[in-house]
Structure 1
Amino acid sequence: MSHEQIDAYLAQREDDLIALVQDMVAINSQIPPHGDEREIVKFLQETLTRLGLADELTVIGPSEDRPSLIARIRGTGGGKNLMLNGHIDTKPIGEAREQWRTEPLEATTINGTMFGLGTTDMKAAVAAMIYAAYALKETGTPLSGDLVIGMIADEEAGAQLGAKFVAPHVTGVDAILIGEPSGWDHDWQGIHLVSRGVCGFRIIVHGTQMHSSLSDRMPSVNASLKLADLMTRIGAELDVPFTPHPLGQVGPTLNAGVMISGGTFFGVVPGRAEFACDLRTVPGQTKDEVAVGIEAWLDACRAADPELQVEYSFEPGLDWVPWSELDAEHPLVTATQAASKDVLGEAPPLGVFPGGTDAPWYSQIGIPTLPSFGPGVLTCAHGPNEFVSVESIHQAARMYARIAADFCR
């Protein structure tokens, strides 16, 4: 079956593909306690059944209220099996609700751009994967290997109840492509062979909780002031060794103060304060090295300030989301380059995805995984007015169909 026939079929179904994205955005799958994945998994089960893509549908999760969905479309046999993977949860709307120009849980298209929570991260990619599989089936494109679609929970909260749980149960898969948005300034800026890891930790400062009116008469330590000093210094002073990655000489990033808390109320000198740090790691780094770096920095801070009482703790569930890396010579990379050159006119360069993905949970158990190749730009994710271009959704479906046809042939 020619690419032209697949494209022609997808062209006939363009409105249906966009409608699927709209339906998915309308379902609240924000991470708990703001929402959960149960309704969207039920909806996707019904959709895949309606489209005839329910050869094998498996709902899997650590509990009924945190489900993921795996669909397997059987090939004729003898070929390699490919999994197209996307997460179906979203970050919370959060404190930026009033900055949205459209309703977050309603996909609104303006001049070829669709706005809505989860459009770029990453419900559009999941919809494109489904319609790529549908086009292959309806055009009779022969696949020797199986095509698997993974619709995974809990990615936005660290994947402990999603891909980390699901990965050991994924069998008979030779490679995985994750549809995370692969642009930052514009669509399709890279075929990302690396995803950075995530290391979350907190710096906790202790002070003297007491009546604030006495702070000029009795010795006291204001934990919040001590914290402010540390928070402004950690970015420049924390030394964690790394080797820049050859794909762009990328290193780690540290964001201090992604969350802050401290103090009791007016009239009270703060006796405790803490700030959270988000460290994005690169291949080669280890949690032990990060711990050594933090401890060395805090020791130096204590030596310089005898009043300072400070400790740190890694964040449960986000203490170490590993980095992931795929060999540039892997057949999935070759298939992705060929598909993107055919559809986009030129294959995007190989690169490093700035964030973390579900990739390490699969690659750590031996399944080669491409961490990011999907529609949209990461720039607008996790904030107000998230968007994806309609054109990139259709391009994604065409490329995913080609990649599957090539890899599973």
Structure 2
Amino acid sequence: MASQPSLLTLAERQVTETLERRRGDIVDLAATLVGFDTTASRTGADGGEVPALQALLAARMQSAGFEVELFVPEPDDLPASRMLAAGHDMTGRPQLIARRPGTGDGRSLLLNGHVDVVEVGRREAWSSDPFRARLSAGRLYGRGACDMKGGVAAMVLAAEVLAELGVPLRGDLSLNTVTDEESTGAGSLACVARGLHADGCLIPEPTSGQVWLGSRGVLLPTVEVDGRAGHTGLARGDELDGPGVGAIERILPILEAMRGLREQWWAQRGPGETPGWIVPTHISAGEWIVTFPDSCSVQLHVTYGIGQADADGWGTAVEREVEARVRAAALADPWLAAHPPRVHWSTDVPSGTISADEPIVRTALGAAASLEHHTGITSQTTWIDAITFSRSGTPAIGFGPGDLANAHTVDESIDVSELVRAAQALAVCAMRFCGVAGERSPRPRSERTEGVAQPAGLLAAP
């Protein structure tokens, strides 16, 4: 075995060496988690396979000596928020909070991860069953392997090994697995509402081992336009004067307007800024193959940068900008001017960031440096639950295994060696952030953030 980096304490070396020996256990747990179909769109009384997965993790954490709470939030348990529709239903989707008390005089650390995954799409496009993990050439394949069941496996093994070795953490260590991250963020919001908090939080999302300080916000509007039903066999040269008007073609000016708006955002961005983007993700129209569709709706995924958010981090200003661009496009089109499009707004998950000087950031950077990982602070774009915790007073960062480019893809996968490195980094972070009774963890110069530039796109909102 290669010698461990000298910047680790004896206790840290013991933990990291144990996790290296437990490589197979980390992979086995990740593969087991992939085997549960926890697709985010699944709702209803049975909750798909979320209850079984959460029960498995609860049993493991309880066996490791953690205090375990497993609960299904009721609609009244959720706070009023732009993130959620009124009466948001989480039936069948339990949330897990596990806690190992410290000796009482250290900082508390939260490890959070989501267990829901996105739809697999066309199964025939996959090389193998997306819910039966496959190990090939050092990579683990399956839906959620990268985003983020691999990260969850890494944090569970890190917590288990710390407990099994009897590492006397001075601060409390909590582990939290949630649902709904891929849709509304309701899982972590419910846990915060239940009182979950800590002095710092690590979320092993697929950050390629880098530190994400925050993220852009997300709006999910639907734009609807009217057509006029009629027999397509009677179509003639001037459709607007014919028996029918196809709503699909009438929505094209709106899509072009959204393309122009997103390009404008990027053309006008400041140095290092990460503005928003607009992606049409779902379109619905048509009733019959020989009938002009009399309506068409398109769902948009609208991200917005921190600099585009309002003073509270929400996307109200972006909503107004999108609506104004839709109105302008409609006025320039004869049919839409007479039949104005309608914009329906659903949820808004806020943007946010934390300072690079936060102790949790310095701890993550220092642990990675001691493990000789190539880690820095990077700007990122996708929304993660870190925003919910940071806004509630628990500074949180993304810091985990896997490349985001592999998330949500056909044949999603993750490098097994990254899972081991992530588990080691998370364990060392826990020891340094919470503190170890009777031992002073090293704080090498590399842990300090003097001279570490915070991306301009992640500056705190005013």
Partner of residue 251 from structure 2, selected from 227, 243, 257: 227
The answer to whether structure 1 residue 59 and structure 2 residue 71 are counterparts is yes
Equivalent-residue separation in structure 2 for 1:401 and 1:18 (angstroms)? 17
Partner of 2:287: 264
Partner of 1:17: 26
Equivalent-residue separation in structure 2 for 1:70 and 1:332 (angstroms)? 20
Partner of residue 88 from structure 1, selected from 112, 115, 130: 115
Contact 2:112 2:203 in 1 (8 A): yes
Deviations 1:79-110 (A, max 9, x none): 1111011001111112x311111221111111
The answer to whether structure 1 residue 135 and structure 2 residue 135 are counterparts is no
Structure 2: state its 5+ residue gaps: 1-9, 75-89, 436-462
TM-score when normalising by structure 2: 0.81
Cα displacement (A) at 1:299: 2.2
Q: Which range moves more in the overlay, 170-179 or 395-404?
A: 170-179
Contact 1:245 1:283 in 2 (8 A): no
Cα displacement (A) at 1:141: 2.0
Contact 2:51 2:94 in 1 (8 A): yes
The answer to whether structure 1 residue 181 and structure 2 residue 206 are counterparts is yes
Secondary structure, aligned partner of 1:72: strand
Task: Name whichever structure is richer in strand by fraction.
Answer: 1
Structure 1: state its 5+ residue gaps: none
Partner of 2:275: 251
Give, as a single letter, the amino acid of the residue that structure 2 aligns with 1:18: V
Partner of residue 369 from structure 2, selected from 310, 319, 341: 341
Deviations 1:182-213 (A, max 9, x none): 03xxxx2x211121111111111111112223
Equivalent-residue separation in structure 2 for 1:299 and 1:56 (angstroms)? 52
Counterparts in 2 of 1:1-400, with a 5 A limit? 1-33=10-42, 35-50=48-63, 52-62=64-74, 63-94=90-121, 96-160=122-186, 162-183=187-208, 188=209, 190-216=210-236, 218=242, 220-237=244-261, 244=269, 248-255=272-279, 257-284=280-307, 285-286=309-310, 287-308=315-336, 309-316=339-346, 319-346=347-374, 348-370=375-397, 372-400=398-426
TM-score when normalising by structure 1: 0.91
Q: Which range moves more in the overlay, 136-145 or 113-122?
A: 136-145
Cα displacement (A) at 1:351: 1.7
Contact 1:298 1:310 in 2 (8 A): no
Equivalent-residue separation in structure 2 for 1:129 and 1:140 (angstroms)? 17
- Distance change >3 Å, CA 262–CA 310, structure 1 → 2: farther
Cα displacement (A) at 1:36: 4.7
Deviations 1:3-28 (A, max 9, x none): 21111221232211211111111111
Give, as a single letter, the amino acid of the residue that structure 2 aligns with 1:174: D
Contact 2:401 2:419 in 1 (8 A): yes
Cα displacement (A) at 1:395: 0.3
Contact 2:130 2:411 in 1 (8 A): yes
Give, as a single letter, the amino acid of the residue that structure 1 aligns with 2:376: P
- Distance change >3 Å, CA 182–CA 314, structure 1 → 2: farther
Equivalent-residue separation in structure 1 for 2:125 and 2:93 (angstroms)? 29
Q: How many residues align?
A: 395
Contact 2:72 2:92 in 1 (8 A): no
